[in-house]
Amino acid sequence: MFDPKSQKRSKETVVGGEKSTSGKLAIVADTVPAQETAQIRARAYELYEKRGCEPGLDQQDWLRAESEIQKR
């Protein structure tokens, strides 16, 4: 009989030197230059700070920042 509790799963996945505890892989497109990615990261952090550093909206912050940077 198969017991799913008997199998151990890693809760931590390392991708490109960064850890993901959600079990999801972080994917960064090869077509986005490193400088643009750094700009997006910085803008997403600014958006996070403007929201009062509330957790849980990181994906929305990233997508908004990405949109803003790519429109420039």
pLDDT at 17: 47
- pLDDT tens across 6-16, in order? 555 444 444 44
- Tens-level pLDDT at each residue, the chain (72 residues): 555 555 554 444 444 444 445 555 555 556 678 999 999 999 999 999 999 999 999 999 999 999 999 998
pLDDT at 20: 46
Q: Take residue 68 and report the two structure tokens written for it.
A: 């803003």
pLDDT at 44: 97
